[in-house]
Structure 1
């Protein structure tokens, strides 16, 4: 399966850019998953966690996000976050 190009942007900088398998986003209308080939769309983001899967079946990287926008286009998924921070597990 083709990789999804994912960009995560904070107000300060480009946080992440590159290929991933899937990203689960906390949209204001509910969580949604984005894979390569997803139909174009835009959504606002509620406070929650983004789950970034680098490969199918992997444990996701989790990133706490507070507000922002997600855009899915033919180029991939871009998230413009108002505030974000990695989630640490113990």
Structure 2
């Protein structure tokens, strides 16, 4: 019950391997992919991308900033703007980003609230993934 998963960003290949399951942060809500999934092309939102590598008991978690997933046959390809494994995230930096975003939102004057909210969302996901170890 396994299939090939490739996770890539413009800068690097983050993961290539065989997995049992992928949980993705779709723009319309989180969804799962198993072997023999129907063909799919979906937009990814900011959120946690999780997968369980074949033979492993616990899932791996990554902070995803958006992108796309294509599922075709027994292969899934994630094309992400940025993606970080939990152990790659500088927790202090993510917490500082969260506080900057919250401060911008409190000021309310001359603030692009949508950008501030998006920055806050990215920081919160990074903190969550870094904490899931």
Which residue number corresponds to residue 67 of structure 1?
66
Gaps of 5+ in 2: 87-129
Superposition deviation, residue 84 in structure 1: 1.1
Deviations 1:34-87 (A, max 9, x none): 111000011000000001112488221100000100000014110000011112
Instruction: Note the alpha carbon deviations across 1:2-25, whole angstroms, 9 max, x for none.
Output: 311100001111111110110100
Q: Conserved in 1, the CA contact under 8 Å of 2:3 and 2:35?
A: yes
2:25–2:31 Cα contact (<8 Å) kept = yes
> Would you tell me which structure has more helix in proportion to its own residues?
2
Q: 1:64 to 1:38 in 2, by over 3 A?
A: same
Are residues 56 and 30 of structure 1, via their aligned partners in 2, closer, same or farther at CA, if it must alter by over 3 Å? Answer: farther
- The residue aligned with 1:3 is 2
1:29 lines up with 2:35 in the alignment: no
Partner of 2:83: 84
What secondary structure, in the 3-state scheme, does the structure 2 residue paired with 1:48 have? strand
- TM-score, normalised via structure 2 length: 0.62
Looking at both structures, which has the greater relative contact order when contacts are Cα pairs under 8 Å and sequence separation is at least 6? 1
Which consecutive segments of 4 or more residues in structure 1 shift more than 6 A?
A: none
Higher share of residues assigned strand: 1
The higher radius of gyration belongs to 2
Structure 2 residue aligned with 1:16: 15
